[in-house]
Structure 1
């Protein structure tokens, strides 16, 4: 079995060890917290490493058997990365808003997807050119709205075999629906979350773009590796997607040096987290 590998240095440089402000922690994440600096919780990467590998292994096995993974991340820092990563490895995604019932009411969602494809066909064929300006505008707006919410799953034939989530607090409904349907959940769990209902939790920063990019690169590579093995007998080569990992794991002294260099950025990191949250809340209220 071939899954992408990574180093402790990569995790540190991506800021995966930065949690939230100590006042915002969830006690159920206590076992994954190494300590605190400047009132910011520091995640124990020695616990993250084996849990991340476990997640990559299950993702690889699902892809190897021809299964499909649904990427979910609707927050600003994750939205574009989630979409591009899912597309790059031939999977599906939700990156705008999770609609209630997207999994548990799949039959109804499928009808909406069918409607989206019908509207796309009418627009592409020029069929709407004979309509009035108002009618054309209504069709185009309906198509845009459906595309925004369902574009990432419009070619998903049925329910996914697993879902990968960034920020389980924001995507709590997605977690609930997956659990109800016994769909495995692989998710990033920051220090302000409860990992109890997650099948394959990955303790780590779920806000920083660099962190999210690394998670998605690794997950995508695991999927492509599994697909490659699945297609090996047919002679199809989808490319070597392993992450470059020709680095040695840094010593304790090197880790301390990296953390010291990050110390000045820690408070700014948390302020950015709070700002992102405020922006999201304002957006949601609008």
Structure 2
């Protein structure tokens, strides 16, 4: 698939993962620079990306990031909630910096800010929502690598990776594959062995769903263990009744000498 070494080509499992996470599905709108990355349009108007070109751009982005000697000179930005967990994991495994949620204006241009950064390369989740970071990078000549959808503006974007940048699982999958390729090129992990980190860790998790699951687990911990009443047969049940009672329950005769009929006040 790639024009370089065949070892960089994706496996069948990689292609299945990309399709399962709907990385190849774009939007109904498309801008002229992104037309080259699409090969078809569905009947409902959704444009479909060419995964061959998506993979080539992903490998190129990994090579660009690996060329940076200091991993801390790479900065990942995501204002979209679906990408915030992904960039946290990306920064954790690659050693890069990250800016999750809102991007503070002046982070790359105002030196008196506490959050001032001077990265050598910028990784963008969505050029539309992260436009402030891209604009400031153009002022200080920072190269930009961005995940671009069919309708994403590509102004000041140096390397566009065509993919679905709106899907919850699509964003996590792309960051997971980019992280894996970076670690492989650095020699941290080998290609012959599957990466032990699962892609689920890069997926967005709704805080309300997580809190609800924790509450359900806490309630289950306080519930008493369920008893198996089927284990008690009829014979053992009748034996228990005979041991606890002083006479027959079906007898209408008053037996005052039975067990339990003594006066409580008698000494």
CA contact (8 A) 1:69 1:164 kept: yes
From 96, 108, 113, give the equivalent of 2:112.
108
Match of 1:40 in 2: 46
With a CA cutoff of 8 Å and minimum separation of 6, indicate the structure with the bigger relative contact order: 1
TM-score calculated relative to the size of structure 1: 0.58
> Which is greater in Rg?
2
From 170, 175, 189, give the equivalent of 1:240.
189
Q: How does 1:127-142 map to 2 (within 5 A)?
A: none
Match of 1:170 in 2: 129
Query: What CA deviation, in whole Å up to 9, does each residue of 1:161-201 have, x standing for no partner?
Result: 11111110111111111122111111101011132421111
Q: How does 1:1-286 map to 2 (within 5 A)?
A: 6=10, 7-20=14-27, 22=28, 24-37=29-42, 38-62=44-68, 65-67=69-71, 68-105=73-110, 107-109=111-113, 112-113=114-115, 158-225=117-184, 228=186, 239-240=188-189
**Partner Cα separation in structure 2 for residue 175 and residue 219 of structure 1:** 20
Match of 1:262 in 2: none
**Partner Cα separation in structure 1 for residue 170 and residue 191 of structure 2:** 18
Secondary structure, counterpart of 1:187 in structure 2? strand
The gaps in structure 1 that reach 5 residues or longer are 114-152, 230-238, 247-286
CA contact (8 A) 1:73 1:165 kept: yes
With over 3 angstroms needed to count, the CA separation of the structure-2 counterparts of 1:241 and 1:4, relative to structure 1, is: farther
RMSD of aligned Cα (Å): 2.8
TM-score calculated relative to the size of structure 2: 0.61
CA contact (8 A) 1:48 1:204 kept: yes
User: Which structure: greater helix fraction?
Assistant: 1
**Partner Cα separation in structure 1 for residue 38 and residue 135 of structure 2:** 25
Task: Give the drift of 1:225.
Answer: 4.5
